[in-house]
Every structure is written in structure tokens, then in C-alpha cells.
Amino acid sequence: MRRVLVAAAVVLVLSMLPVMAQDAVEVDSKHYKVEFENDEVRVVRITYGPHEKSVMHEHPANVAIFLTDGQARFTLPDGKTQDATMKAGTSQWDGGGKHLPENTGDKPFELILVELKSKASTEK
């Protein structure tokens, strides 16, 4: 009986991994590519074609640098949406969180996301 319970627990944990794995690079490698990583930061190149959509994922605190103009809609875990317009050459700070992004424009867009890893980095 104990083996059956252990086996059931292992199956349950393994089945939950896709739900728990919310790192953008892991769950959507089509749109997210790591360009550089060390103990302090991870630099991710993000590219979306026209009207492409991602999956729900999470980012830590970060700075986005927009390489092209773009239009996007972000669906939040509670189902609310936020529309955004990005301008090439601009940057913005974000405290991190979960979202599902979608390119709502007719052109591809690209940005670089610098994700902060350590708590000390976010306090400076």
C-alpha cells in the first residue's frame, strides 16, 4: 500500500511540473531566448510575430529595452487585460509578475529583457 501511495505522489508531482514551470524561456522558447546569464542577471531576447500569443508565465523584476515599435495585450492571472504600446529605443522598469502576452499589432516586435536575480540587486 505504501508503494502505491508513493507512486501516486510521484505521478501527481510530475503532472504538476508544467503548471509550476512558469519561466518564460522554459514554457515558450519560440519567443524567449537567453542571450546572457550570470548570478545577478539574465538577459532575454523576446521576439513576437504579428498576432502571436504566448502562454501564462512569470518574470522577476526587470528592465525592458524595446528594439522595435509594438502593440501588445497582457492578460493577468485574474483574467483582466492591459494594452500597451511600445516605442523603439525606450525602456521601462517592471517589478515582475505573471502575465500572458500577445502581439496585437500587424508587425513583429522585439525587445531585450534584463531580469534581476538577487534581492540585493532590486534594492539598489
What domains sit in the chain, N to C, each tagged with a CATH number? Answer: 22-119 (2.60.120.10)
Residues contacting residue 40 through CB under 8 Å, at least 6 positions apart: 116, 117, 118, 121
Given a contact cutoff of 8 angstroms between Cβ atoms, the answer to whether 68 and 109 are in contact is: yes
Phi, psi of 54 (to 5 degrees): -100, -160
* Of the candidates 26, 20, 24, 19, the residue with the CA atom closest to the CA atom of residue 113: 24
Above 90 in pLDDT, residue 121? no
Given a contact cutoff of 8 angstroms between Cβ atoms, the answer to whether 7 and 35 are in contact is: no
Average pLDDT over every residue of 108-123 = 83
Q: Within 13 A of 10's CA, how many CA atoms are on the CB side?
A: 6
pLDDT for 119: 66
Above 80 in pLDDT, residue 55? yes
The pTM for the full model equals: 0.79
pLDDT for 118: 79
For the chain, the first-to-last Cα distance in angstroms comes to 53
Above 50 in pLDDT, residue 69? yes
- Mean pLDDT for the chain? 87
CA–CA gap between residue 22 and residue 124 (Å, rounded)? 26
Above 70 in pLDDT, residue 75? yes
pLDDT for 4: 55
Percent of all residues in the chain with a pLDDT value above 70, rounded to a whole number: 78
pLDDT confidence bin for 9, thresholds 50/70/90: very low
